[in-house]
Amino acid sequence: MFFINKDRVDRDLEKINEANMTPEQLAKKREKEKAEKEKHAAAVEGWTWKDTVAMTIAIIQVVLPFMLVMAAVMALVFGFFVWMAHR
């Protein structure tokens, strides 16, 4: 609730900071942003299907134990109700 317009505030603060910069500082900032974009583009180009498979396996390793525990609890609850129904 408190962070509804946070991105708008951040953009406004960035505009204010840019307006208060000297031309040299602004040129350095633009150059740095351009270098970061190029670095990101190079990193994205290096992404292969092996990286996707590795990330999928990593997610499964994190999520699978929770899913198994949840399935076991559901089976126990279901078994309890079946046991109570036939008692």
In DSSP notation, the chain reads -TTTTHHHHHHHHHHHHHHTS-HHHHHHHHHHHHHHHHHHHHHHHT--HHHHHHHHHHHHHHHHHHHHHHHHHHHHHHHHHHHHHT-
More confident residue, 7 or 69: 69
Q: Is residue 67 very low, low, confident or very high in pLDDT (cuts 50, 70, 90)? A: very high
The string of pLDDT tens digits covering residues 25-55 is: 989 989 999 999 988 888 777 778 888 999 9
Position 42 scores a pLDDT of 81
